[in-house]
Structure 1
Amino acid sequence: QAWAQDKATLKKNLQHLVRAANQRGIGVMPTLMYAPGQAADKSRWPETRAFAADLISAVGKEPGLAFWDASNEPDCCALPPSPANRQRMEHALYMVKALQELDPVTPVTIGATFADNLREYGDTEDVLSFHNYLPTRGAIAADIAKAKAYAAKVNKPLINTEIGCIARANPYDVALEEHMKAGVGWYIWELMITHSWGTVHGVFHQDGTIRDPTIVAALLGMFRDRHEDVMPSVPDREGFVTRAVANNKKWLADAGATWERGLDLAEISANLLEAGQLIAMYDPPTRTVDLLRKGAPNMPALRGAIEKYTAILEPFQLPSNDPTRGRPPANSH
């Protein structure tokens, strides 16, 4: 649609993207998207070929161009494919051939929704590409193994071009770890937290802050320790939790409690909760405290926060003679 409205601007913007990415050592795989109804109407397929030709004229010789993705999930979302899927899949194969004819240098793929459907495209595309949003490690690993087996059979490279969705029980770190262990390349969906899919996908906000530090660590190949002998956190090892609980209760019981002192206590509690991983980070406590500090004094809201944090911290208090206050066993990670 953007191409139909202003071809020159779209081509200029695509050139800028590919060149900017290349300057930073990043390869680009443009994914061709089509106007509603085009894939289902064979009389309109020449329009999509013309679209591809125009994109190739813009960036086909750019060193930053890595692949062409002829179609995103034409088999979505039925297994086995429905008749409507079949029509889109036929168009995707048409576009693979068109791209290969127009640009015989750049590899072409199709982003398959399911590894099971790779066989529908494998004879035509240059690189096999599948997506995986499965909800358990076992299912993810089995899907990867299935894709690898087919890739070996047809002797073609294999990558996963979509993983990671917090709303599908497909955590980024788990999905990334399984693909890295299997030696399969990947693209995550998606880098930026956007207005479109930002509630369930994405790593970075536009200001450079992040949704979850474990995602960034996983991208660098570092993962949470889940071994049997993992060293447990002991947030009250030096008595900070015990003191925080006592100080919070004293402030809550004080009729003359001050706003400033309450904010400090709330921040100490929030830091203990986050550092010790004692609370879900859907809405970080430190964010709550920061918003309280920036706003007008609101004692009911502050009291509510301190009461909540105190209740969560209380079970983590340790007696002064508790052995876990000492050094951990030498065999712990």
Structure 2
Amino acid sequence: MRPLKDYSNIKGFNYSLASLKDYNHEIEVRNMGYAKRLTLNSCRLFMHMEDWKKDSERFLDNLRDFMTVAYDHGITTTPILLMPYFTDDQTPYWLSEDHSCSPIPGCYYPENYSIGEAYVSDIINAVASHPGLLFWDVMNEPSWHGFLLSVDDPQEKQKRLDMVWDFVRHFIKFVREKDPVNALGVGHTFIEDTEYSKTGEMVDIIIFHDYLETRSRVEATCRRAVELSQKYGKPVINNETGCLCRSNPYDMAVETADRYGIGWYLFELMIEEEGGMWSKVHGIVYPDGTVRDPSIVAAILGFFRNRNETAIQSDVNQEGHADKAIAAARDALEKRAGAEELLEAAENVANLLEAGELVPMAVPPTARIAAYRRSEKKDIREIRSFLYNLVCRLKEGCDIV
């Protein structure tokens, strides 16, 4: 798509094109269905050059298929064209220890630019005319890689950064020559990388990532993004944000970006399977369509928690139902009821606790109750202790003596 003046309407997500062996059209239809229900409208797509090297035809077929599925669901795509790549004799830098001054990836030497050029050319030729293409993201986070972070010597680090920025500027020009129509930008790690890389004049969109920890820090980044947007006369997008373990909750990131009129892409749409690199800290939707945190969904839809003095504290005992639930639980405990009656009493208490937000929701009490019910062998002693603790929490939350 040709460059737009404004991308503030973008509500996007990061996503990975499945590997050659794992790509499944029906799974992509399912996942893009989730994105559509969330009212998300753009996908930032990671791809694997190694798959292209193995079978470029299948790789490009999968890319076209994915972009068509996304477009059929009202979702545009911004393919990430480049990550660091390596020559055949190299060990990837991520296998090196921190501060090891790990080797520079071969891609940053001009004699190896041709490898990336062939890859990028194939992608451009395959999907530049696709109606779902929003813009090219020329490279992901050029300044945030192990062969840079592992270097302690300032001169060596600057030398490597200079190589990176030369590479980025080369490929901006290369993509522009191959496709003079569609918009492009660079997915910079930080907003200030726009200046360090000297790419502000070269791109159509100023792009940055933000995983900062507090509202004041995120707002400072947004203000700087607006300043650079005005300086270069270019629209701005935050195309990576939201991380639980970096004190960068999704709702805070979205609320702040919305306030500054900056389009955003959350990292990432799907919650990976247990054991995945990002499964515990990123993602909105599980494969079965459930979510980890409904506040993320609310934020995407433009609804945010009331954090000011007008917020009204809930009272789950307003009609005496907490008293009744506690009495029923006490009765079940005193008469040494069976598992089902204990769990029924526990669910009554748990629903009040969860509705009033009187308990942590990382593992909701009702999730534990469901697990107890699924178990073939029910540990009555454990269930009794669980119910007793729920009652104590409810009494404390409702100031019941």
| TM-score with structure 1 setting the length | 0.91
Report if the CA contact (8 A) 1:122-1:128 is conserved: yes
Residue 226 and residue 46 in structure 1: after superposition, are their counterparts in 2 closer, same or farther (change >3 A)? same
Q: Does 1:84 align with 2:165?
A: no
Q: Does 1:188 align with 2:269?
A: no
| Corresponding position of 1:292 | 372
| Corresponding position of 1:214 | 295
| Corresponding position of 1:225 | 306
Q: Which amino acid in structure 2 is aligned with residue 200 of structure 1?
A: V
Task: Measure the CA separation in 1 of the matches of 2:202 and 2:321.
Answer: 63
Q: Does the residue aligned with 1:28 lie in a helix, a strand or coil?
A: strand
1:275-325: per-residue Cα shift (whole Å, max 9, x none)?
1111111111111101111112221231232122122111123569xxxxx
Residue 304 and residue 98 in structure 1: after superposition, are their counterparts in 2 closer, same or farther (change >3 A)? farther
Task: Measure the CA separation in 1 of the matches of 2:263 and 2:385.
Answer: 47
1:112-154: per-residue Cα shift (whole Å, max 9, x none)?
1111111122122221100011111111011100111011101
Q: Does the residue aligned with 2:80 lie in a helix, a strand or coil?
A: coil
Counting only pairs closer than 5 Å after superposition, residues 127-146 of structure 1 correspond to structure 2 as 127-146=205-224
Counting only pairs closer than 5 Å after superposition, residues 109-120 of structure 1 correspond to structure 2 as 109-119=185-195, 120=197
Q: Which amino acid in structure 2 is aligned with residue 264 of structure 1?
A: E
Report if the CA contact (8 A) 2:257-2:264 is conserved: yes
Out of 48, 51, 54, the position equivalent to 1:2 is 51
Q: Does 1:262 align with 2:342?
A: yes
Q: CA deviation at 1:248?
A: 2.3
Q: CA deviation at 1:214?
A: 0.8
Out of 352, 358, 370, the position equivalent to 1:272 is 352
Report if the CA contact (8 A) 1:242-1:317 is conserved: no
1:37-76: per-residue Cα shift (whole Å, max 9, x none)?
2433322111101100000111011111111111100111
| Corresponding position of 1:27 | 76
Task: Measure the CA separation in 2 of the matches of 1:198 and 1:96.
Answer: 33
Q: Does 1:55 align with 2:123?
A: yes
> Structure 1 unaligned runs (5+)?
321-333
Q: CA deviation at 1:251?
A: 2.7
Q: Which amino acid in structure 1 is aligned with residue 319 of structure 2?
A: E
Q: Which amino acid in structure 2 is aligned with residue 177 of structure 1?
A: E
Q: Which amino acid in structure 2 is aligned with residue 105 of structure 1?
A: V
Q: CA deviation at 1:175?
A: 0.7
Task: Measure the CA separation in 2 of the matches of 1:47 and 1:187.
Answer: 29
Out of 321, 333, 336, the position equivalent to 1:240 is 321
Counting only pairs closer than 5 Å after superposition, residues 196-211 of structure 1 correspond to structure 2 as 196-211=277-292
More strand by share: 2
Q: CA deviation at 1:34?
A: 4.0
Report if the CA contact (8 A) 2:315-2:398 is conserved: no
Higher relative contact order (CA 8 A, sep 6+): 2
Residue 316 and residue 84 in structure 1: after superposition, are their counterparts in 2 closer, same or farther (change >3 A)? same
Report if the CA contact (8 A) 1:67-1:108 is conserved: yes
| Corresponding position of 1:170 | 248
| Corresponding position of 1:99 | 175
| Corresponding position of 2:63 | 14
Report if the CA contact (8 A) 1:128-1:158 is conserved: yes
Report if the CA contact (8 A) 1:118-1:147 is conserved: no
Task: Measure the CA separation in 1 of the matches of 2:138 and 2:372.
Answer: 50
Task: Measure the CA separation in 2 of the matches of 1:94 and 1:17.
Answer: 28
1:169-225: per-residue Cα shift (whole Å, max 9, x none)?
111111100000111111111111123312111101111111111111111111111
Report if the CA contact (8 A) 1:75-1:86 is conserved: no
Q: CA deviation at 1:262?
A: 0.2
Residue 76 and residue 265 in structure 1: after superposition, are their counterparts in 2 closer, same or farther (change >3 A)? same
Report if the CA contact (8 A) 1:262-1:302 is conserved: yes
> Structure 2 unaligned runs (5+)?
1-49, 87-104
Name the stretch that deviates more: 236-245 or 62-71. 236-245
Out of 351, 355, 361, the position equivalent to 1:281 is 361
Residue 253 and residue 312 in structure 1: after superposition, are their counterparts in 2 closer, same or farther (change >3 A)? same
